C-alpha cells in the first residue's frame, strides 16, 4: 500500500485528499492499486493502511530472519487472521479478499508441501493476471466496467475516460505480473522479495501518477463548479 497525497480540494462539498492505496481489500484485492477519494479521517485511513499491510510486512520480516519457507507460513497465517478479523469487525468478507486468501493458501501451501519456493513466487503473478482478466472479461464479455463501478460514486468523468482507465488497469496488472515472474526466474530469492515489496511499490507510484494525469482535468473542473 502506498499513500501519495496528490491534491487537496473540495468536491461534492467535502474536503478530500487523493491517495494511492496499494493493498485495498475493500475494492478489488489486497494488491490492487487504486485512486480513492478519502475524507479527512486521516487516523482511520492510517489504521486501514497498517491493517492492509499486515501480511506483507510480516512476510518481509520473516524472510529476512528465517527464510522463504517460514515467511510463506507466516504470510498464510497472517492472511487468515486478517480475513477473520475483517469478518468479525464487518460481519462480512469481500469476495476479493476470499480470492486473495485462496491464492496465497494454494500457492503458499504448494511451496511448503513440495519445498519449492517457485510456487510462492508465482502467487503475485497469478493474482495480478486474475485482476487483469477480471477487468477485461468483465468489460468485453459482461459489458461491465469494474473500475467505474468502484469509483463512480466518488468522481464523475466521461465514459471514454472510464474505458481508458479500465484498459490501463488491465494492462498494468498484466505487465506487473510478467515482471514479477521474470524476476522470480532470473534473479535470486532475495532480489525477488525486495522487488515484491519495494519494486512493486515503485511500479504503483508510476501507475498512480499516470492515473492522476488522466483524472486531473476532470477533478479540477468539478472543483471549479463546487466553488
Distance CA 13, CA 95 (A): 32
At 101, the pLDDT band (50, 70, 90 cuts) reads confident
Average of per-residue pLDDT across 192-202: 87
Query: pLDDT: is 196 or 9 the higher one?
Result: 196
Average of per-residue pLDDT across 192-216: 84
Does residue 183 surpass a pLDDT of 50?
yes
- pLDDT digit string, tens, across residues 45-99: 556 656 666 788 889 899 999 999 999 999 999 889 888 888 888 787 777 778 8
- pLDDT digit string, tens, across residues 109-138: 999 999 999 999 999 999 999 989 999 999
Beta strands at 8-11 and 34-38: parallel, antiparallel or unpaired? unpaired
Q: How many CB atoms lie within 10 A of CB 106?
A: 14
Does residue 4 surpass a pLDDT of 50?
no
Task: Report pLDDT for 179.
Answer: 95
Q: Which of 24-28, 104-108, 146-150, 151-155 has the highest mean pLDDT?
A: 104-108
Distance CA 128, CA 202 (A): 16
Task: Report pLDDT for 3.
Answer: 35
Average of per-residue pLDDT across 196-208: 84
Task: Report pLDDT for 178.
Answer: 96
3-state secondary structure of 97: helix
Average of per-residue pLDDT across 138-143: 89
Q: Are 45 and 19 in contact (CB under 8 A)?
A: yes
> Which triple of cell numbers denotes residue 4?
501519495
> Which triple of cell numbers denotes residue 35?
485512486
Distance CA 134, CA 174 (A): 11
Give backbone dihedrals phi and psi of 152, rounded to 5 degrees, phi first.
-65, -20
- pLDDT digit string, tens, across residues 10-43: 333 333 333 333 334 333 434 444 444 343 444 5
At 219, the pLDDT band (50, 70, 90 cuts) reads low
**What string of H, E and C letters represents the secondary structure of 156-204?**
CCCHHHHHHHHHHHHHHHHHHHHHHHHHHHHCCHHHHHHHHHHHHHHHH
User: In degrees to the nearest 10, what's the CA dihedral of 77, 83, 87, 88?
Assistant: 40
* Contact residues for 42 (Cβ-Cβ < 8 A; gap 6+): 17
Query: pLDDT: is 107 or 56 the higher one?
Result: 107
User: In degrees to the nearest 10, what's the CA dihedral of 46, 167, 220, 149?
Assistant: -60
Entry pTM: 0.74
Amino acid at each position: 500500500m502506498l499513500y501519495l497525497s496528490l491534491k487537496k480540494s473540495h468536491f461534492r462539498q467535502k474536503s478530500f485528499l487523493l491517495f494511492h492505496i496499494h493493498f485495498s481489500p475493500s475494492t478489488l484485492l489486497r494488491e490492487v492499486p487504486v485512486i480513492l477519494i478519502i475524507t479527512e479521517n486521516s487516523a482511520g485511513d492510517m489504521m486501514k493502511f497498517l491493517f492492509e499491510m499486515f501480511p506483507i510486512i510480516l512476510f518481509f520480516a520473516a524472510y529476512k530472519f528465517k527464510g522463504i519457507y517460514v515467511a510463506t507460513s507466516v504470510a498464510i497465517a497472517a492472511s487468515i487472521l486478517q480475513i477473520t478479523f475483517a469478518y468479525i469487525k464487518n460481519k462480512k468478507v469481500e469476495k476479493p479478499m476470499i480470492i486473495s486468501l485462496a491464492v496465497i493458501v494454494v500457492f503458499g501451501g504448494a511451496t511448503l508441501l513440495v519445498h519449492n519456493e517457485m510456487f510462492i513466487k508465482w502467487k503475485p503473478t497469478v493474482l495480478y493476471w486474475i485482476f487483469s482478466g477480471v477487468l477485461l472479461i468483465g468489460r468485453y464479455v459482461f459489458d461491465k466496467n469494474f473500475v467505474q463501478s468502484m469509483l463512480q460514486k466518488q468522481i464523475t468523468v466521461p465514459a471514454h475516460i472510464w474505458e481508458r482507465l479500465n484498459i490501463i488497469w488491465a494492462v498494468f496488472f498484466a505487465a506487473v505480473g510478467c515482471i514479477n515472474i521474470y524476476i522470480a526466474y532470473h534473479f535470486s530469492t532475495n532480489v525477488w522479495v525486495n522487488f515484491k515489496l519495494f519494486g512493486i511499490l515503485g511500479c504503483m507510484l508510476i501507475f498512480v501518477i499516470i492515473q492522476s494525469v488522466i483524472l486531473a482535468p476532470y477533478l479540477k473542473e468539478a472543483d471549479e463548479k463546487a466553488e
